[in-house]
Amino acid sequence: MSVQLNLGDKLYINDEKSTEDLDQNYDDDYDDEDDQYNYDDDHNNNYICDSEGEMDDDNDIFQIDPEIFEYEIYPMNKIDSILDKKCEKILNALNLDDPLDSLYLLKQFNWNPKTLLEVYNKDKSSFLLTYFSDDNNNNSKKSSSIHKNKLVSYLNIYSESQIGSRIKKDAVKCKNIPVESYCNICCSSRTSSEMLSLDECGHLFCTECWQMHFESLIGNSSGHFFECMQTKCNVVAGKDFVLKCLENTDSNRIEKYKKLVVLDLVNESEDLQICPGELVIKAKNSIPSTPKTHVSHFKLISTVTSTPTVSFNFKSTSPVTELPQETKKCDSIVWIKNKPSAKRVVCTTCETQFCFLCSTPYHAPNNCSTIRKWNLKCQDDSETRNYLLVHTQDCPKCKVCIEKNGGCSHMTCNRCKHEFCWVCGNDWKTHGPTYDCNRYKGNSEQDTAREALNRYTHYYHRWINHSNSLKFEKALREQCQLKITEKIMNKEGGTLVDWEFLTEAVDILTKARYTLQYTYPYAYYLESNEVKMLFENIQAELEREVENLSHSLEKVNLNDKFNIKIQMSIVEKRRKTLLKDFFQ
Amino acid sequence: MSNLLPTRILKETQRLMQEPVPGISATPDESNAKYFHVMILGPSESPYEGGAFKLELFLPEEYPMAPPKVRFMTKIYHPNIDKLGRICLDILKDKWSPALQIRTVLLSIQALLSAPNPDDPLDNQVANQWKVNEAEAIKTAKEWTKKYAIDSN
Ligand SMILES: [Zn+2]
Ligand SMILES: [Zn+2]
Ligand SMILES: [Zn+2]
Ligand SMILES: [Zn+2]
Ligand SMILES: [Zn+2]
Ligand SMILES: [Zn+2]
């Protein structure tokens, strides 16, 4: 794909060179804590003036874009290098030798070196006391051969990492196995070389049974930590033990297991996320996309003084015919550089745009739960919503959506292992026999069904309308490129530089309309009060400017350039103003 | 067919036949060695005393890596067993371990009849009744036992 929306995000492509550059950047970020976006003072001053003073100043364009979000995109099999960098950073900053210590510390801070270092820098001595006092250390080392297993499990998933190579591996070994052994699972006699046990519990079973046990779990689990086969033995097998048992397993299943390891690590890491997008691996007879136009390809000199008109005919842009495509999950890993928030990530591999926190389409100014509610509501007419209401619930602790797959009300969250009651949502442990969870908790609101529906329709209509317009703007953008090229090639007028602003205008329009679309669910859930009135004023202003710009772009004339430029900067200002509060 | 049967299942079946557990019988189906006809007698001093409860037990392809599937065929009034005879028992779900056996599973079900657990309910209506008015619930359980597990056998 040649078209890349410039969304103002500082985006780093993950080739070797830029990764190195980035490391440099990452380091810098830690040094200047106050100035997190590294904008120079001029811009900051502008920002402050603007927010107090009047509007429509050309300097508005420098107002910090609240949507800015820094991150790197890695293919899944480069996860080892991410962990390597994090550990290295901690080892250096805290002057530690044992890589295991860096793993242990990172785990305490949700694998986010940034928060770890913030706490550390606030009070170094008390930090060290908390995490490295003799007491603590002994405790953690004693109680934690299991701990160590769990930490080390995240190393060397796809390749030997630097940190991984520095940690002594406890070879999978078994002492004192009788030469003649018997496996209780398959009820067969085995030789000692065919038997294996986990160090921590010593329960011996044959490798074949271990293999089948793990294969079965890989097919049915959402995590990678598997328990010993012995009844009531809770000892957990780490990645190295499992992989040893899977030596004769087909590579697909091993890959699936490695993915489970990565997913566990990503779930535990607050600065990582998996791209939810899809990649086309084989497109049959794919239609080539619009050729890339690039400034440097054209060195035409303007010789025409007349003002040509570029018109865009929406109807002629038939969408690319959908051909049967083979796709696979993108599964790229996003590593963010700022604080985790509901900001936009654009995957450089598959171009999917999504919210960092919830992996659904980016949805500012809504928070993740609001947009989820809204999306459920929009599926109202189908049976899906009813199904979700009846059969799924969010885990009260980690908010992951859980499907009820049996009649039992005692639920255990697959992800965080939280146990709760399906009926009342309370913690299962506090849920004694006296607890009444059958009481009907309906709301007494007199909202008639029709009234509610009308209200909903109002917002839904506008939401869908902007969503449709966005599809046109995508076409508009492609046409824009074509028309510009055409006009210039035909020497009808203007140079590429003269027309360049059009591309930028479409970008600005698209970005603003996207935000506008998502203001409707937000407003729908706002309580009717002054805050809502204020919000709807800002929304109306943005909407008006977006429609103005959109209209101006439909039939554009070179004479309009100046006016359009002004419209562009107003739209930008409105969008930033609207989002400023949300991201504060 | 039985040639292909894993040693594990053969041995378990043999032992079930040769040293049956008191109050429990399990016989493999003539045409399918992985399907068992099970009978559990209601434990004494439980509302199910005197009843004979039919169950079916099926060993899935993955057994023993996956738990057996067990279901009550006889109607029973019990907070952890629903109308379809499905059983709410941890070892039949996430607490399953390949070291458990058909024998241990059936023993656990027998124990569940002795000690119903309304705090981990499958059938909410029954469980509620059990919590609100235990005496009444036990009475109903006895009636059901008489009606479905004694008379009809
Ligand atoms: Zn074995
Ligand atoms: Zn064990
Ligand atoms: Zn992607
Ligand atoms: Zn979100
Ligand atoms: Zn959870
Ligand atoms: Zn409850």
* pLDDT tens-place string over residues A34-64: 444 443 433 433 333 333 334 444 455 567 8
Inter-chain residue contact A209 with B93, CB threshold 8 Å = no
Copy the structure tokens of residue A292. Answer: 């890339």
Can you give the residue range of the structural domain that contains B54? Answer: 7-148
> Measured in Å, how far apart are chain B's first and last C-alpha atoms?
32
- Reported as half-sphere exposure (CB side, CA atoms, 13 A), residue A158 has a value of 15
User: Ligand 4 centre and the CA of A455: distance in Å?
Assistant: 24
How many Å lie between the centroid of ligand 2 and the Cα of residue B17?
30
Whether B153 is in a domain gets the answer: no
A508: exposed, middle or buried (Cβ count in 10 Å: 0-12, 13-18, 19+): buried
Alpha-carbon gap: A79 to the closest alpha carbon of chain B (Å)? 30
* Low-confidence stretches of chain A (pLDDT beneath 50): 1-58, 140-143, 286-320, 382-386, 434-436, 438-447
Domains of chain A as residue ranges with CATH? 77-170 (no CATH), 175-248 (3.30.40.10), 278-329 (no CATH), 395-440 (no CATH), 456-582 (1.20.120.1750)
Domain for residue B1, yes or no? no
**Least trusted range by pLDDT, from A128-132, A365-369, B85-89, B109-113:** A128-132
pLDDT for B118: 80
Of all ligands present, the nearest one to the C-alpha of A395 is 5
CA distance A191 to chain B (A): 17
Residue contact B65–A215, C-beta within 8 A? yes
Q: B8 and A431: CB-CB below 8 Å? A: no
Q: Which residues contact A381 (CB under 8 A, 6 or more apart)?
A: none
Closest CA to A563 of A537, A576, A545: A545
d(CA A205, CA B97): 13
Cβ separation of B121 and A231 shorter than 8 Å? Answer: no
Asked whether residue B2 is assigned to any structural domain, the reply reads no
Q: How many domains does chain B have?
A: 1
**pLDDT, position A447:** 40
Whether the link from the prior residue into A365 is cis, omega within 30° of 0, is: yes
A411 close to A387: Cβ distance less than 8 angstroms: no
Give chain B's mean pLDDT: 90
From CA A80, how far away is CA A162, in angstroms rounded? 9
Which pLDDT belongs to residue A283? 57
* 3-class DSSP assignment, residue A232: coil
3-state secondary structure of B11: helix
Q: What are phi and psi of B119, to 5 degrees?
A: -85, -10
| CA separation for the pair A86, A163 (Å, rounded) | 10
Nearest to A367 by CA among A88, A181, A582, A154: A582
Beta bridge partners of B86: B71
> Residue A4 has what pLDDT?
37
In degrees and rounded to multiples of 5, residue A65 shows phi and psi of: -75, 115
Closest CB to B8: pick one of A187, A231, A432: A187
Distance A73 CA to ligand 3 centre (A): 8
* B142 inside domain: yes
Question: Are A186 and B6 within 8 A, CB to CB?
Answer: yes
Q: What is the per-residue pLDDT for B46?
A: 94
Q: Do B7 and A215 touch (CB under 8 A)?
A: no
Among A188, A216, A231, select the one facing B7 at the smallest CB separation: A188
Which of A215, A230, A407 is nearest residue B88 as measured by Cβ atoms?
A407
Closest residue, chain A, to B5 (C-alpha): A186
Q: Report how far ligand 3's centroid is from the alpha carbon of A555 (Å).
A: 35
- Plot region of A331 (φ>0 → left; ψ -120 to 50 → alpha; else → beta): left
Partner-chain residue, chosen from A209, A232, A408, that has the shortest CB–CB distance to B98: A209
pLDDT of res. A1: 35
Two tokens at A101? 């210590």
Cα(A183) to centroid(ligand 2), Å = 13
- State the catalytic residue, choosing from B55, B88, B106, B127: B88
Answer whether B98 sits within 8 Å of A229, measured CB to CB: yes
Q: CA-to-CA distance for A103 and B120, rounded, in angstroms?
A: 38
Cα–ligand 5 centroid distance for A365 (angstroms): 25
**Is B124 in Cβ contact with A216 (below 8 Å)?**
no
The letter for the amino acid at B26 is A
- Confidence at residue A19, expressed as pLDDT on a 0 to 100 scale: 39
ipTM: 0.85
Would you state the pLDDT for residue A323?
60
Ligand nearest to the CA of A348: 3
Distance between A212 CA and the closest CA of chain B, angstroms: 7
Residue at B13 is within a domain:
yes
Helices (H), A65-205: 79-94, 99-108, 113-122, 124-132, 134-142, 145-152, 162-166
- Tell me the residue length of chain A: 584
Instruction: With H, G, I as helix, E, B as strand and everything else as coil, classify residue A529.
Output: coil
Determine, yes or no, domain membership for B103: yes
| Residues of A designated catalytic | 408
Residue A569 confidence (pLDDT)? 94
* CATH number for the domain that contains residue B34: 3.10.110.10
Residue B111 falls within a domain, yes or no? yes
3-state secondary structure of A384: helix
Task: Return the residue in A213, A410, A413 with the most chain B beta carbons within 10 A, the one to mutate for interface testing.
Answer: A410
The single residue listed with the structure tokens 């189906």 is B29
For testing the chain B interface, which of A183, A187, A206, A423 should be mutated: the one with the most B CBs within 10 Å? A187
Tokens in use for B3? 């040639």
Q: Radius of gyration of chain B from Cα atoms?
A: 16
What count of CB pairs under 8 Å joins A to B? 66
Alpha-carbon span B75 to A129, nearest angstrom:
62
pLDDT digits (tens, 9 = 90+) for A524-537: 998 888 888 889 88
Residues in chain B with CB shorter than 8 Å from the CB of A186 are 6-8
